[in-house]
Amino acid sequence: MTDKSQLQYTADHEWVLIEGDTATIGISAYAAEKLGDVVFVELPEEGSTVAAGTVVGEIESTKSVGEIFAPVDGTVTATNSAVVDAPELVNSDPFGEGWLIKVTFTETPALMSFAEYSALIGE
């Protein structure tokens, strides 16, 4: 599990781990809890181009359907096939095995710190 205090966040409840020019992206535990039991995950194809703020995938739960937004402009370099095969990983390990995509980017995005995100969600 990644230390969630070392991550950056979006207002759309995605977490982002920046390593060099690669952003690993997932949804926060807060978002996973609000969604309920995740039963389906749709991710973009590797090699596809994404733009910050646009919808790049979908997460369906027993309660609702949520959209996954790209926090950066770039190219999808990896998708987590494990969450497609076992969507419950988004609930059980959102900051580890439940990651969603990796994107190579050229410009570092403006993201929230852990403290800013915690204030947003009231924790």
The order of strands in the sheet holding 49-50 is 8-9, 14-19, 22-27, 101-105, 74-79, 49-50
Length of the chain measured in residues: 123
Domains in the chain, number: 1
- 121 in a domain, yes or no? no
Q: Which tokens in the block code for residue 109?
A: 């995005």
Structural domain of 10: 4-107
Residue 72 placed within a domain? yes
The tens digit of pLDDT for each residue in 91-115 reads 999 999 999 999 999 887 789 999 9
Q: DSSP per residue over 51-85, as a string?
A: -TTSEEEEEEESS-EEEEE-SS-EEEEEE-HHHHH
In a domain, residue 52? The reply is: yes
Evaluate whether residue 9 is within a structural domain.
yes
Residue 33: give its domain's CATH number.
2.40.50.100
pTM: 0.93
More confident residue, 1 or 83: 83
In a domain? residue 122: no
Answer yes or no: is 114 within a domain: no
Residue 57 lies in a domain: yes
Query: Across all residues in the chain, what is the average pLDDT?
Result: 93
Q: Does residue 115 lie in a domain region?
A: no
Which CA distances in Å does 46 have to 68, 74, 75? 15, 11, 8
pLDDT of residue 109: 78
